[in-house]
Every structure is written in structure tokens, then in C-alpha cells.
Chain A
């Protein structure tokens, strides 16, 4: 467990900065606030939003990264969602996808269900768990300067990369992207593959 530091970063600003110069990035978001965060930046056909499947965001990113080894794949998800599928860190580490990056927006809360504390509020260190699984590149971000360092890592460092960004537990307005599953799937595939 790492030393506790003051949390000041705002989730919307963090996600907005990460996606600002996204280029051809393929993005998978975990259910709840990370999906709203990504949608608040822009609704992009290279986004695949999970509205359910809790615990599946990182693994969805893994399957996509294996299928598209020349494209950078980023998974943005929450701490609660990551914890539910935490075994996936081991599965990803064993696969060693060089094009996969994982970013946790970690408010230490279950934000959609009443802001109950997750295990990360009690010292569970997701970056250490990723490192323990075998990720070579991991970090926990508390400050704007650290985020500036982490963003190029998410885009450019050989994966799998894991960055846990500590964010304040403040609820933001929901920004709802399309939620019909087949629609999201078809537009993502059509944009990526040229056909469905």
C-alpha cells in the first residue's frame, strides 16, 4: 500500500486531457462515470462504451488489442469496475499486448450507486496489483504534473501500461452517449473495418 496523498484532480478534466489529442486511438470505457466522461469530451465512433458488463472493460480492450495489433487501444474505467474484474490484470499481463493501455479514473467510490467506498479507499493499490501481475509500466497519478507525464505513456509506451489516476469524488452531470448495444457495435466495426 502506498502513502496516501491529497486528491485534487477532476475526472472530467483528466479524461478531457487524456483524449485531447487522441488521433486514431480506439477507446473502451467501463460502465458508469467513465462512459459519461468520455461522452462529455465527444461521441466518437472509435469509442465503445460499456453500459453494463461490469468487470469486462479491460478484457474487452484486450480482445480488441489482440485483434488490432497496429492500433493503440485505451481502456478507461473506474476503480470499482476494475476491482470486479481484477483477475483480468493477470490475463492481460500474460498476453503482453504492446498496444494496450489501461487508465483507471479512481475516485475510490462506487459512483453510480450512492458513492459508497471501494477497496481503493482503504489502501488497495491497483497499480501495485498490476505490477504484481506483471505489468512493466505502472503508475499512480495525483497531480496535474504527474498526469502530464502519464499521458504520453498511455499513448506511446510499450504495453501493457497501467495508470491509476486519483480523482476527487465529485459527481458530474451525466453525459449519455448512445446506449443501444448493436448500434454501438456496428458503428465501431464499420468505422474500423469498413464493413459490418
Chain B
């Protein structure tokens, strides 16, 4: 049940976001997004927007697009349930929405309370009209985000990249 060897995919993903001209990074923290969030905060050309709830991010990024800026929403799978209603706005208006979702509740999860939302994440997003790209290979994360960014910003769609828990790792509560 080994977690895949940790590689620094965050740097490559951040490059992809920069190349896609992402100017607003909205987030509810997740351990798996730690590096990305730090890079977003450190970059003067990016406005990091810390949220109280993931649904806020859908609205913030809709407003950003109205104002001519692209954005990305970073979140954990446990927050996917929070965004469903607000996705209606992005869906109806065809606002581009790029979501990077790190998964919990699947590979080696020890916290039973994480399992229901983790297991429902893909189906729930698809039911709400989001195109889902799932990735479990660290070496494929950046190119998956790149494809998702194109589909979101140029194809005008809501796209979520689900980054598997096998890649992100699971909490070791024995330490």
C-alpha cells in the first residue's frame, strides 16, 4: 500500500498556472497544496485569496473572469460538497473554472469521516457538470493540469483535476 514516491510536482504545476496567466489563486488549504499555496503567496503577480468555504472560490473566480483575469481554485475533496450550489452559476454562465482537488478518503485513508465525500467526489462533480481529470501518477500531474487549464480557459468549461491520495500521501497519525 505504498504511497508513490514524493516528487515535487507542485513547482511544475505552478509553472503551468503561470503559463496559463492565472492571476487569482483561491484556496481552502490542504496539506497536499501546501507548496502551491506558498508559491502563490510569494508571487507578486498572483493574488492569493484565502476562503472560509470552497463555494466562495467559485464566485470569486467568476468575478475574476468578468474582470478579465483567470484563476484557479485549490481545495481538498472534502470541500467538494461545499461548491455544488455555486457551480450552478459557473455552469449556466460558462465561466471557466479550474479546480485542483487533492483527494482524501481513498488510498490508505484512516479517518472514516473523510471516506464518504472522498468516494463521492468524482460522481458529484460530474453530476454538477464538471469535467473531471483524475491523475494518480506524479509525473502526469503537470500535464494534466495544463490540459485542464486549456479546457477551462479556452474551452470555457468547469474542469477539476483530482490528484489521488496515493500521490498526495496519507496522514501518518503514528508520528
Chain A residues near B (Cβ < 8 Å)? 26, 28, 48, 50-68, 85, 87-88, 90-91, 94-95, 181-182, 184-185, 188-189, 192-193
Main secondary structure of the interface of B (DSSP, over half): helix
Contact-size category for B: 20 to 34
> What residue of chain B has the Cβ atom nearest to residue A59's Cβ?
B59
Asked whether A56 and B92 contact (CB < 8 A) given A66-B69, A67-B67, the answer is no
A85 CA to B89 CA, complexed, in Å: 14
9-residue interface stretch from B43-51, B110-118, B143-151, B158-166: B43-51
Q: Which 8 A-B pairs have the closest CB atoms?
A: A67-B67, A63-B63, A53-B89, A56-B59, A181-B93, A87-B52, A59-B59, A181-B92
Asked if A87 contacts B53 (CB within 8 A), the reply is yes
Asked if A63 contacts B52 (CB within 8 A), the reply is no
Asked if A60 contacts B60 (CB within 8 A), the reply is yes
A50, A55, A85, A192: the one within 8 Å of B67 (CB):
A192
Sample (11) of A-B pairs whose CB atoms are under 8 Å apart = A50-B89, A53-B89, A55-B55, A59-B63, A63-B67, A63-B69, A67-B24, A91-B50, A91-B51, A91-B60, A189-B68
> What residue of chain A has the Cβ atom nearest to residue B63's Cβ?
A63
Tally of A-B residue pairs with Cβ under 8 A? 121
Asked if A56 contacts B66 (CB within 8 A), the reply is no
Asked if B23 contacts A67 (CB within 8 A), the reply is yes
> What residue of chain A has the Cβ atom nearest to residue B95's Cβ?
A185
Which residues from 118 to 153 on chain B have a C-beta closer than 8 Å to any C-beta of chain A? none
Interface residue B3 (Cβ < 8 Å from any Cβ of A): no
Q: Across the interface, which residues of A come within 8 angstroms of B53, CB to CB?
A: 87
Q: Across the interface, which residues of B come within 8 angstroms of A51, CB to CB?
A: 92
For A26, A64, A94, the residue with the greatest tally of chain B CB atoms inside 10 Å of its CB is A64
For B23, B56, B61, the residue with the greatest tally of chain A CB atoms inside 10 Å of its CB is B56
A126 CA to B58 CA, complexed, in Å: 23
Interface residue B71 (Cβ < 8 Å from any Cβ of A): yes
B50, B57, B67, B94: the one within 8 Å of A66 (CB):
B67
